[in-house]
Amino acid sequence: MSFENLLVDRDGAVAVLTVNRPRVLNALNTQTLDELRRAILELKRDEAVRAVVLTGAGEKSFVAGADINELAVQTPTSGREHAVRGQHVLDLIEHMGKPVIAAINGYALGGGCELAMACTIRIAADTAKLGQPEINLGIIPGYAGTQRLARIVGRGRALELLLTGDPISAQEAHRLGLVNRVVPAASLMREAKALAATLAAKAPVAVRYILEAVHKGLEMPFPQAQIFEATLFGLVASTDDMREGTKAFLEKRMPDFKGR
Ligand code: COA
Q: pLDDT tens digit string along 124-175?
A: 999 999 999 999 999 999 999 999 999 999 999 999 999 999 999 999 999 9
Which residue has its alpha carbon closest to ligand 1 atom 11? 24
Task: Please tell me the pTM assigned to this model.
Answer: 0.97
Residue 197: exposure state from Cβ atoms within 10 A (0-12, 13-18, ≥19): middle
Residue 110 clears pLDDT 80, i.e. is over it? yes
160 noted as active-site residue? no
Among 25, 67, 68, say which to mutate for ligand 1: greatest number of ligand atoms within 8 Å of CB.
25
**What gap in Å lies between CA 6 and CA 88, rounded to an integer?**
18
In this prediction, residue 1 carries a pLDDT of 77
Q: Which helix (H) or strand (E) holds 158?
A: helix 155-164
Q: Which helix (H) or strand (E) holds 52?
A: strand 51-56
CB atoms within 10 A of CB 167: 18
- Answer whether 242 contacts ligand 1 (Cβ < 6 A): no
134 noted as active-site residue? yes
**What gap in Å lies between CA 117 and CA 207, rounded to an integer?**
19
Which residue has its alpha carbon closest to ligand 1 atom 8? 64
Asked if 215 and 94 count as a contact pair (C-beta separation under 8 A), the reply is: yes
Taking only the tens place, the pLDDT of each residue in 41-91 is 999 999 999 999 999 999 999 999 999 999 999 999 999 999 999 999 999
Taking only the tens place, the pLDDT of each residue in 7-53 is 999 999 999 999 999 999 999 999 999 999 999 999 999 999 999 99
